[in-house]
Structure 1
Amino acid sequence: MKHEPYSSRRQALLRRIGDGIAVVPTAPEHIRNRDSHHPYRFDSYFWYLSGFPEPEAVAVFIGGQEPKSILFCREKNEEREVWDGFRYGPEAAREACGFDEAYPFAEFEKRFPDLLANRGSLWHTLGHDAAWDAKIVDGLNEVRAQVRAGKRAPTEIRDLHQELDRMRLVKDAREIGIMRHAAAIASAGHARAMRACRPDMAEYELEAELSYEFRKRGADGHAYAPIVAGGRNACVLHYVENDKLLAANSLVLIDAGCEVGGYASDITRTFPVNGKFGAVQRDVYEIVLAAQQAAIDAIKPGASFIAYHEAALRVLARGMLDLKLLEGNLDGLIENEGYKRFYMHRTGHWLGLDVHDAGEYKSGDEWVTLVPGMTLTVEPGIYIRPGPDVPEHLHGIGVRIEDDVLVTESGREVYTTAPKTVAEIEDVMRDE
């Protein structure tokens, strides 16, 4: 395991916290049922600073004139390794990850008050994990009880996640490389699903095609619960049952990404189950595709985060008027949000270690300005739920198109390459 880029990130955090102390625990293991666990996934903030993959671990960072980073982790246990696999143990973990010191996880609560004493500030995110909040409060109270011995507790508690969010928002070259790889794998998975799709298949069969391609190409697995939504199911934004049959003349919407090295990809494609768009399906699809292209074109350094949503929104609202879904004038529909009946979400979000990645979207009342290294999704859609005033030929059509985009020095780079135009989709589905 290489120390970089984790060591550099730790040094940046140590400079930021001054004479304070920061505590960053990893995620706990979770029981699925009885003695079976859910697959373990580390906490993103902890991983960002440590690169250490095991549960039962916490990193402590002490600033000041003699800054240092300390890792608490599970002890080496050869008996448990027979059952559960390799464990680093503190000494090997310290060497592998480049921490200054490392101790058994069981010693954290005993050592923490001494580490906490006489620090000016405590950097922790209260409310994120109740169990860790309790450990922090216990440590603070133990230091406060020793005031007559000349010890003092931190007088200020700062939100650590807010500080780390700013760091995580701009990706470094290594992160960009991993995310390109994740996007390439996910793109291949979507192309595979298109080639495999047939009328009367179950949605879960397409999910299986994605899962196979992701794992075959070395991804850790899905980055989130995949959506495979045929027909009217596509009008349910977070549909995850994936258990219905695909009708021949319907569309299927797949929202699925893989995770590689902790980093997510996030792609949505919508395509005809029988391999060829009907005329009405194509009309709706082309509106969403044009909206996505307008949004992508609006992404560049110096642009406001909201600018690409606004660019997509104008195209979508114009399209809703053309389809006779709405009446009125374009500016009025945007101002009164009449479009929200058929398009109710933002055009995208940050992407990284989390699918909805860390980072603020506004600073005060102002939207964040895009800078090189930021990575975001672009995912406009139209979802036409049946209604008495909705043209019947449009009932149940749901279309979303989503790609992952990096802000570059000169504009943007689209990571994801799954077939997207009508011609590309029909060609790949015809080839099988």
Structure 2
Amino acid sequence: MQNTDFKARREKVFNMMEDGIAILGSAKFVTRSNDTEYPFRQNSNFKYLTGINEPDSILVMTQKGGENKTYIFIRKNDAFEEMWAGKRLGLEKAQDLMDADQAFDIKDFEKEIPHLLLGHRNLYMHFHERRDIFDLAQRISGDLFNKKRKSTELPPSEIKNLGAIVERLRYTKDANEILTMKKAMIATDKAHRAAMAFTRPGRNEKEVAALIQFIFEKGDSQGNAYDNIVAGGNNANILHYIENNQELKDGDLFLIDAGSQLNYYATDITRTFPVNGKFTDVQKDVYEIVLESQKTAISHAWPGRTAPELHQSVCNVLTQGLIDLGALKGSVEENLEKGTFRKFFPHGTGHWLGLDVHDQNPYMDGTGNPMKFEPGVIFTVEPGLYFPKGDGEIPSHLQGIGIRIEDNILITDKGHENLSSMIPKEVKEVEEACEKDYITFLDL
């Protein structure tokens, strides 16, 4: 995101601080096995405030006497290390990239941080990440207090949650962030269409998963935003099924929950379609209920509304549908009150979306009420119905059916925009998409 003003983002953080120093660490490499590591994935809050995509880095922001300062601690350039592990940003480029006041070698953090801590009332840190930095800052502050207790400049006496500040800022996306997510959606659209066209009885889930991953890696995206769910038949009733290795069978449905990412900004889309390209009558009945509930929820997406309101609208439609299918007995009101619908719809209707696929934004405001939608908020709407095989309480004609339909919704000044509206989801559209030639989506 070349046009991102990281300094402006940090100024917003400063505006929400009270006479303090903020310390935020980057992510670390995570061991896969022995001496090998998983691909590096930056801490989203760190990325949001710095734009830096390297490990072993620490952001320090100080606010004193009306003056705001930003410091970055990062690895120095090292020709030998870079020969093995790739180019480093280095101090000068890091300072320029994020428009910091000064850059230090990460090895000097313990030497420099004591004097930066002095003279601040509050220490802002993330409570649940980089415990090593959290503990170090606390220890140094305690040592400084014992040494400086008679001084006019003392270390912070109160610790506050930096994560809550940054994540509130991330709740709404700016024009650049929205454009990035729209660009990521291009590959997601191609992948879902290609999967519909490629699928047929006898193929394996892993073949379809590989096709999706190929498109995510080849297109204008940067791989998958999360572990894709590629679930044929009864596997769709495992909400986070990621084995993706079973044969696809004639007459089954196929649930694919897959989204690409660009500059860490995620898309998150689910489509369900027939393996053989044609819905059976009962599959169509269930599908239309889920689709109606999703459309109803999306129609309520506008500024001032809340996620629980959308969820309730979904529950109303699904509960009536479950009664119509014979899966529930009694009235809608009675089943809603008892929560019996949760057996078939056990999850929420959606979640925030952004730098994380489950974006770290607040769901409740400062008064304990649900956050209201604002222009720039992006979230998923993903109702589903699940009827696992082998449950004697479920009518036999429904067993083995698992359906979820998920879109990504942007709140606008006048309502909403469905960022994934181009991906087929009407029954006729889906069946037509299953008849296409998947090669046309590969850009070979």
Q: Settle same-fold status: TM greater than 0.5.
A: yes
Q: Equivalent residue for 2:397?
A: 393
Deviations 1:111-130 (A, max 9, x none): 11111111110001223332
Asked if the contact 2:127/2:163 (under 8 Å) is kept, the reply is no
Asked if the contact 2:254/2:274 (under 8 Å) is kept, the reply is yes
Asked if the contact 1:229/1:239 (under 8 Å) is kept, the reply is yes
**TM-score normalised over the length of structure 1:** 0.97
Q: Equivalent residue for 2:230?
A: 228
List alignment gaps of at least 5 residues for structure 2.
Answer: 438-444
- Which AA in structure 2 matches 1:85? G
1:167-316 alignment runs, 5 A limit:
167-316=169-318
Q: How many angstroms apart in 1 are the aligned matches of 2:127 and 2:304? A: 33
Q: Equivalent residue for 2:62?
A: 62
Residue aligned with 1:431, SS: coil
Post-superposition shift, 1:365?
A: 3.8
Post-superposition shift, 1:293?
A: 0.3
Pair 1:330 & 2:335 matched: no
Q: How many angstroms apart in 2 are the aligned matches of 1:69 and 1:2? A: 20
Deviation larger for 358-367 or 314-323: 358-367
**TM-score normalised over the length of structure 2:** 0.95
Q: Equivalent residue for 2:408?
A: 404
List alignment gaps of at least 5 residues for structure 1.
Answer: none
Deviations 1:285-307 (A, max 9, x none): 11101111001001001112211
1:73-84 alignment runs, 5 A limit:
73-84=74-85
Residue aligned with 1:169, SS: coil
Q: Equivalent residue for 1:430?
A: 435
Query: Relative to structure 1, is the Cα distance of residues 2 and 98 closer, same or farther in structure 2, using a 3 angstrom cutoff?
Result: farther
Deviations 1:284-334 (A, max 9, x none): 111101111001001001112211111111111111000000001001111
Deviations 1:49-108 (A, max 9, x none): 000111110100001322111000001111222222211211221122211110001111
Q: How many angstroms apart in 2 are the aligned matches of 1:411 and 1:3? A: 27
Residue aligned with 1:222, SS: coil
Q: How many angstroms apart in 2 are the aligned matches of 1:423 and 1:233? A: 24
Residue aligned with 2:217, SS: helix
Q: Equivalent residue for 2:95?
A: 94
Q: Equivalent residue for 2:379?
A: 376
* Identity level (%): 38
1:159-170 alignment runs, 5 A limit:
159-170=161-172
Query: Relative to structure 1, is the Cα distance of residues 285 and 3 closer, same or farther in structure 2, using a 3 angstrom cutoff?
Result: closer
Q: How many angstroms apart in 1 are the aligned matches of 2:124 and 2:178? A: 28
1:39-54 alignment runs, 5 A limit:
39-54=39-54
- Which AA in structure 1 matches 2:120? R
Query: Relative to structure 1, is the Cα distance of residues 235 and 2 closer, same or farther in structure 2, using a 3 angstrom cutoff?
Result: closer
Deviations 1:171-209 (A, max 9, x none): 111111011111222121111111110111111111111
Point out 4+ residue stretches in structure 1 off by more than 6 angstroms.
none
Deviations 1:241-281 (A, max 9, x none): 11111111100101111111010000000010011111111
Asked if the contact 2:382/2:405 (under 8 Å) is kept, the reply is yes
Count of aligned residue pairs for this structure pair: 432
Post-superposition shift, 1:398?
A: 0.2
RMSD over aligned CA atoms reads 1.3
Pair 1:366 & 2:369 matched: yes
Q: How many angstroms apart in 2 are the aligned matches of 1:289 and 1:429? A: 18
